[in-house]
Structure 1
């Protein structure tokens, strides 16, 4: 199949050693998701290590190493399959044949002597099944096959690197469950509730490693010194059953499959937090605990649910690939398949920990990688296309804790702030609000976001009654936009790293569309009229345009810093006008933008505005979706820029959403040492849900 060739110069393209010895489907990404279910269960393996998978080192999303090994023993010879130490007496490295990712699976095929081994790292994405989606576990299935029968044993282990604090770990082992289920639990001794380490790993709760025997396997276990445990398996093909927990030790499980030519076993890795979220001083827990309140029954159910979850994943993976291909081609499909687990893996689906009331659902989203805020509106907003397409109720359930907090009045009781809050907690999982009114104010940004998100939910579901319940709040923020949306004092917008500015054209566009959305949502035509008047000023009368009327400037009006004709912004905020067919701006606005963006294409992409040397994967997808034109050339330009960045071999973090597009000048943002095509700081953020912007144009609730 034809693929778009990278726009990067040939001399900066690279592939990891031996990458050509294996095949990669659909492409070799920066990092493969392994166990990605929530902000604290998020394990990946860098793409440049996959060619040498037997000794690769998996990582937590923030980059710290995790220990997770897989060995197979075939007719007495031990083969290193994944994450194994370089020194293991008498062992042989398996050889990678292929690596593949879908929206819910990462699959690696290796040869180990006469046997083919497939590792299937499966993190279910089941957003309409709250029980399945909320379970804080992920599967690893190891399948073996050959042309003849062989004596085969399969082994896996993890260690305290998963707990977030090495050197202070306590462990338990339990094998008294039905069907022979065996569970190890590791935790930090006397950890503080709701605490993280400096690298964003949870310190409270329990890391889980489990499996149960199949009808054709015997399961053994051991906790002990990594060297001795692995050597014992390599020598005997079984484990001693000892449970010695100490610093640097591993917990391990091994299946003896006997003589077989085709078999598989499944391991479970997870991270349980009974008190998962602190919402205004009350604990909230995972939705699944209403049905399975203890770890043993939850893990047992998770394993029993494997067949059903697997079948669902095959259908969902295929549907997403087909829809993405039809919407914008194979490069777009490659991007969405790698996006999905990451977006859903930023959230926890919760209910109250005391009542376990499943009618009281709240979803909490972590602002991963940037600053850890809770339910940041300008994180929910850029991510919302994925929820709009796959699970519209997610929009409501993420807004609920925000709106319920705002209704308490605690946000404004000591101040005159009439705009919407930025987030409901400085750092996840503490959603404790900002009663002192100290937060990162983004007045127009968040006031527009909350209205547009509410409209998106109602548009997708028809649930106007929910919006009417909070109409007083939405009216308050619409009134703020009426007075402050086109007369903007100095303030921050979503790209806060660039600093505050007055009269930001992109913000004024958001205000115009949000006012129109409010008017249509609540049948209040005067608000729509105001939004239309803003658009008329910005576009028709040219307030926001350069003198030649080719593009929107970064700032409008007089006495501004970035109001020259050469200054520009990629006005991604205009996307919702297209998505909802509001017609706030005339059609000629979009053809103007589609013609302009290609003229500012840099070496590796379009910088997000004239101040910076970097581009954004999700905002450019928004801009592309709002850029009609001949053969969708501008839309595809943006998609292909992201695909080239994703596949150029220069990056290893979980899908970073920002990369250097042009040589830096050492100015406001960026510098002359920036690597063109290299990622810029962010990792694993749920905002990549914005990649679904093009697919969202096909309609809501497509799954």
Structure 2
């Protein structure tokens, strides 16, 4: 695992990072596990590059992908004493080159490291996407690092090369490029643009209106050269000569390459930056918002130059946070839990943009926008923020407030007139334009409960009651809706909308009860708490929501034929805030009952989320794990281990999909049919809802980093 001694050695080794190699160079070692996909450059919804796990063994010729599955061209080559080695993403046909051999692959919460043997030298590729949740400047910079380090070269001449192409712009054959080297400190900067792109336009979830950035600076011991041209010619130039021609005129279909000549060296490293810049990043109610960083660095050149100069500080921060997260996760729930959280962190933060107004660049006016990645692209969906909130609660509670601000400020305009809370503030990212026509994906109880519980979470973590009081009239409006509609539910959708609408959903009624109690405690309004407690009393003590044997909560509450099916159940994850905040809406025996029941529904690869479906959810089962007390934590560990097995079973390659098949559907692949693959992913990829994996760690307290 990641060692604390690296921190003390940091000054001597910066920026070199060297792994201890496996004794068997023909078989790679995967630390802590081989995941479905490795995060490479994951910073926001439009800068999100991954390497499928099933390609990593052949890393020198593997193909990275945008989160949605589009191939990205990103190559890394190195010369050792005149011999060219393919390290990453290079074509198999590169004449006269050899493939390096992968020896170690490792991920932490902010780094993906790959170590390769290349003749006399060992190279480490460090794909580093900072997670700096309390440093809004650093977190908002839309760039990611690739550091290539060499060791053991026995004073051979070393040259290192990398290139990208227009696949990063979302277009083929419709891209223009520019090159600039007129900056201080030797910055070489390529920028690629889509010709005639419309503002805020996308294609297959890749942004079109911004600019792809590829840059580097020479080190004190390297000479940096640049070239644009056909992939074959630029790579051949480097392979033959170890440098580039300096011809930087870009044409459609070209690559843009940067090469460092390190001369004779045994140990050294160079760093590249890749990014995607959008000056107008978000359309909020018709006004543009931009990245927080632009208040200090208003153009791509100054921003990426600062980003490269900030490497040492960002790297030091990452070593501390990586080690601390691993240590806390292992201590809380074991190494399997740690493996999950380390793979979760970049994905959760990579779904968000930290913004300020584009006109004033006022850094006191912060809003964070979260994309409902993969499912439908909505903006600041409350039932995406809600399941993700444990990671914000643990690492950056202010994120909760800043994600709610765009919603609450929209409400204050009076343009949303429904008595219940809105589902999202924009049908598709980055257009946060509200729903003035009142047409959206209504989830009345779901979202009314979510917004209250999120506000409560923020205040609990920060003690900033003044913020909640500023919007108290809005929270009161939605609490009043829950009073009348929380235990008398007409047919409606809940967060797992793919399951379809139902009336009298027990999980929703539980949410209403806890949210009303939270509202009452937040604003010292005892009547609301009493109403919430009365809901809980009916559902549990009086048995309204229970099966006749009182072993579990039914999918739907009620005693008539329609709602009386004892075999129907739901994983009632909505009880989790009651435990997290010690609200005591439900008695402790509720949670003991659930902890005893869930294992009885364990299938071949997990507990299905409810009796209607054959799939499970990584984040909701982590919520259920956190709400499953026991002297030996057996049910908690059951849920965690189900997610870990899914993450490591080798059947999946998408960026941490949060939904997988837990039991056999009809005609499933495991039985020779064409249906579900047990242990395989069902849907979705790269969604920020995986922040819910932090639910168990959140029980240890807020703001832990």
Shorter-chain TM band: over 0.9
Which secondary structure state, in structure 1, belongs to the residue aligned with residue 495 of structure 2?
Answer: coil
Equivalent residues in 2 for 1:55-454, closer than 5 Å: 55-146=61-152, 148-197=154-203, 199-412=204-417, 417-454=418-455
Deviation of 1:332 after TM superposition, in Å, equals 0.1
Does residue 693 (structure 1) correspond to residue 698 (structure 2)? The answer is no
TM-score, length of structure 2 as denominator length: 0.95
Deviation of 1:665 after TM superposition, in Å, equals 3.5
Which secondary structure state, in structure 2, belongs to the residue aligned with residue 545 of structure 1?
Answer: coil
Which secondary structure state, in structure 1, belongs to the residue aligned with residue 586 of structure 2?
Answer: coil
Q: Residue in 2 aligned with 1:592?
A: 593
Contact kept in structure 1, 2:372 and 2:380, CA below 8 Å: yes
Q: Residue in 1 aligned with 2:651?
A: 650
Contact kept in structure 2, 1:136 and 1:271, CA below 8 Å: yes
- Residues in 1 aligned to 2:294 and 2:666: alpha-carbon distance in whole angstroms: 53
- Residues in 1 aligned to 2:559 and 2:638: alpha-carbon distance in whole angstroms: 33
Contact kept in structure 1, 2:25 and 2:101, CA below 8 Å: no
- Residues in 1 aligned to 2:195 and 2:425: alpha-carbon distance in whole angstroms: 29
TM-score, length of structure 1 as denominator length: 0.96
Q: Residue in 1 aligned with 2:608?
A: 607
- Residues in 2 aligned to 1:200 and 1:672: alpha-carbon distance in whole angstroms: 29
Which secondary structure state, in structure 1, belongs to the residue aligned with residue 152 of structure 2?
Answer: strand
- Residues in 2 aligned to 1:678 and 1:20: alpha-carbon distance in whole angstroms: 29
- Residues in 2 aligned to 1:644 and 1:672: alpha-carbon distance in whole angstroms: 23
Which secondary structure state, in structure 2, belongs to the residue aligned with residue 651 of structure 1?
Answer: coil
Q: Residue in 1 aligned with 2:10?
A: none
- Residues in 2 aligned to 1:331 and 1:644: alpha-carbon distance in whole angstroms: 9
Deviations 1:627-658 (A, max 9, x none): 00130000000000000000000000000000
Q: Residue in 1 aligned with 2:17?
A: none
- Residues in 2 aligned to 1:204 and 1:248: alpha-carbon distance in whole angstroms: 19
Deviation of 1:411 after TM superposition, in Å, equals 1.2
Structure 2 residues without counterparts, runs of 5 or longer: 2-23
Give the stretch that moved more between structures: 552-561 or 179-188.
552-561
Q: Residue in 2 aligned with 1:532?
A: 533
Deviation of 1:334 after TM superposition, in Å, equals 0.2
Contact kept in structure 1, 2:225 and 2:258, CA below 8 Å: yes
- Residues in 1 aligned to 2:367 and 2:561: alpha-carbon distance in whole angstroms: 42
- Residues in 1 aligned to 2:564 and 2:307: alpha-carbon distance in whole angstroms: 57
Which secondary structure state, in structure 2, belongs to the residue aligned with residue 21 of structure 1?
Answer: coil
Which secondary structure state, in structure 2, belongs to the residue aligned with residue 630 of structure 1?
Answer: coil
Contact kept in structure 2, 1:502 and 1:560, CA below 8 Å: no
Deviations 1:26-84 (A, max 9, x none): 00000000000000000000001000000000000001100000000111110000000
Contact kept in structure 2, 1:19 and 1:51, CA below 8 Å: no
Deviation of 1:147 after TM superposition, in Å, equals 5.3
Contact kept in structure 2, 1:554 and 1:563, CA below 8 Å: no
Contact kept in structure 1, 2:25 and 2:103, CA below 8 Å: no
Deviation of 1:557 after TM superposition, in Å, equals 1.1
> Aligned pair in 2 of structure 1 residues 50, 562: CA closer, same or farther (>3 Å)?
farther
Equivalent residues in 2 for 1:500-579, closer than 5 Å: 500-558=501-559, 561=562, 563-579=564-580
Q: Residue in 2 aligned with 1:13?
A: none
- Residues in 1 aligned to 2:561 and 2:216: alpha-carbon distance in whole angstroms: 63
Length, aligned pairs only? 679
Deviations 1:412-468 (A, max 9, x none): 1xxxx2000000000000000000011000000000000000000000000000000
Q: Residue in 1 aligned with 2:4?
A: none
Q: Residue in 1 aligned with 2:18?
A: none
Deviation of 1:559 after TM superposition, in Å, equals 5.1
Deviation of 1:20 after TM superposition, in Å, equals 8.1
Give the stretch that moved more between structures: 657-666 or 225-234.
657-666
Contact kept in structure 1, 2:122 and 2:153, CA below 8 Å: no
Contact kept in structure 2, 1:490 and 1:503, CA below 8 Å: yes
> Aligned pair in 2 of structure 1 residues 309, 592: CA closer, same or farther (>3 Å)?
same
Q: In structure 2, which of residues 677, 680, 691 is the aligned counterpart of residue 678 of structure 1?
A: 680
- Residues in 2 aligned to 1:69 and 1:563: alpha-carbon distance in whole angstroms: 60
Deviation of 1:246 after TM superposition, in Å, equals 2.0
Large movers: runs of 4+ above 4 Å = 558-562
